[in-house]
Amino acid sequence: MAADRGPDKGMAMGQKYFAVGLKFAGGIILFMLGGLGLDRWLHTIPLFTIAGTIGGAVLSFLSVYWQLAADKDVDANGPAGGR
């Protein structure tokens, strides 16, 4: 299978990890902006901004970790479970 080797596989892997990085950063930014919006609406100190940033980082990390762990299993066994 030519698609399993060569520059196309490298490009596909690069795109996959780039998308994972964007997912991670996007989750953090989305939760941070949500916290900032709550802080402005409730006229509070940056409590929700900090909580949103930390919460977004934790949830984004877990999401990325679970996705990469599942991809590792698929890469090791092949897309059809090693058939």
Secondary structure (H, E, C), 51-78: HHHHHHHHHHHHHHHHHHHHHHHHHHHC
Domain encompassing residue 47: 29-69
Instruction: Give the chain's domain count.
Output: 1
Asked whether residue 7 is assigned to any structural domain, the reply reads no
pTM of the model: 0.74
Tens-digit pLDDT string for the chain (83 aa) = 445 566 677 788 888 889 999 999 999 999 999 999 999 999 998 999 999 999 999 999 999 999 989 887 776 665 555 54
Cα separation of the two ends of the chain: 15
Asked whether residue 81 is assigned to any structural domain, the reply reads no
Asked whether residue 59 is assigned to any structural domain, the reply reads yes
